Amino acid sequence: MSDLDQLYQQVILDHSRRRTGEGLESAGSRHTAENHQYNPTCGDEINVRVSLDEAGDRVESLTWEGDGCSISMASASVLSEMAPGMSMGEFATTVDQFREMLRSRGQIESDEESLGDAAAFAGVSKFVARVKCAMLAWVAAEEAAKEAAL
C-alpha cells in the first residue's frame, strides 16, 4: 500500500468515528428537505437533511442519520463538513466531481484541492461494489437539496 493510500484510509477511518453532522438538525429555514437512500448491496441506510438559506441558493446545514459500513458513514461525515456555505452551483459541481471520481475505476486522480477530505475516497473507485457505499449520502443530499430549493 502506498503512503497516500494509507493516509486516505486514515481519513476515512477518522471520519467514520467522528461522524460530523450526525443527528438531524431541526429545520430553521423554509428551504429544508430530507431524503432517504438505501443500499441493498451492503445494507447501508441514510437520511440526509439539507437546509438552504432564506433565498434558497446556499447550503446552510447538512445533517444526517444513518446506519452502515464505515465507508458510507465516513462519506456522510465528510460531506456534512464540506457542504455548509457552498452555493447551489458549487454544491452541484462538487457532487458531480465526487461521482466522476468514484465511477472512474481508479482512472481519475483525486483532486484534493477541490474535493478536500472527499478525495480520500479515490481508492474506493477500484472496488465497484463499494462505490454505492461512498455515494449514498451524496445522492441523498443531492435529492434533498433539489427539493429544498423549490
Query: What residues line the site for Zn ion (CB under 5 A)?
Result: 42, 44, 68-69, 72, 133
Provide the minimum distance between the beta carbon of 53 and Zn ion in the complex, in angstroms, as a whole number.
Answer: 32
C-alpha grid cell, residue 112: 484534493
DSSP state of 62: E
Q: How far is the CB of 42 from Zn ion (least distance, A)?
A: 3
Helix H or strand E segment including 44: strand 44-52
Q: How far is the CB of 56 from Zn ion (least distance, A)?
A: 32
Among residues 61 and 80, whose Cβ is nearest to Zn ion? 80
Helix orientation angle between 128-149 and 88-102, rounded to the nearest 10 degrees:
170
66/68 with CB nearer Zn ion: 68
Q: Minimum CB separation from Zn ion for residue 72, in Å?
A: 4
Q: Determine the Cα–Cα distance for residues 91 and 96; give it in Å rounded to an integer.
A: 9
Q: Which is nearer to Zn ion, 21 or 66 (CB)?
A: 66
Q: Which is nearer to Zn ion, 16 or 94 (CB)?
A: 16
Query: How far is Cα 97 from Cα 119, in angstroms, rounded to an integer?
Result: 10
Strands ordered across the beta sheet of 44-52: 32-39, 44-52, 59-67
